[in-house]
Amino acid sequence: MKHKELERWHRLRNIRRGAQLLILVAIGLSISVYAVSIFVTPPAPDETPNIQPPVSRIDNFTCSTPGVNPWELEASSAVISDSFDKIELTNPRVVYHGGKGGTIYLSATSGQLDRKSNNVSAHGNVIIRYKDMKFETGEIKYSQANHQAESSSLVSVEGGDLRLTGKGLKVSIDSEEITIERDVQAKLFNVRLVGPKSRLPM
């Protein structure tokens, strides 16, 4: 009996050792698999959104064009696109030199300059000054190709004793002519009566 019990004790001990060995092998395999997964598995794709690089901002921006009917542009600040094609302007001020030697001044709250065409658009509190006349409108676009500025917005005009409103504005830089397109209403102040065939004192 003692021999059988001793044999059974040895068998149980071998089983325990085998079980312990299997557990150690399993733990070792788990650690190895985990380590391999860390060093071999490629990292997850970057989920950071593709943010475009910031555009350039310039304070006290200036620009000018030479040649026939040149103009000079100033702005308190400008934001330039990466391609340098579009320039967003803050408080633009433009000086146009007319074909007859006159000067036309334009200012606005904001605007845009197209560097390819040299066209300029202005928006918000657009004011145009020519000689003793002041024109106000909401927006206007200048075409470099034909040296002409146009607006389809409401327009008001002040000059001396004249007050005028209308819709649509066309400014020719070459001829220095400014036209109110339609719906014109005018008021004259301080006008003296004149005789037949006499001209009004304007």
Q: Which residues of the chain register pLDDT less than 50?
A: 1-2, 43, 47-53
Average per-residue pLDDT for the chain: 80
Q: Say how far residue 190 (Cα) sits from the centre of its chain.
A: 47
CA angle 159, 165, 167 (to 5 degrees): 130
**Joined tokens for residue 200:** 């009004």
18: tokens are 């085998």
pTM of the model: 0.66
- Return the pLDDT at 146: 92
How many Å is the Cα radius of gyration of the chain?
41
Domains of the chain: 56-188 (2.60.450.10)
Q: What share of the chain is helix, strand, coil (3-state, %, to 5)?
A: 20, 50, 30
Amino acid 50: pLDDT: 46
At 173 the pLDDT is 94
Q: What is the pLDDT of residue 162?
A: 85
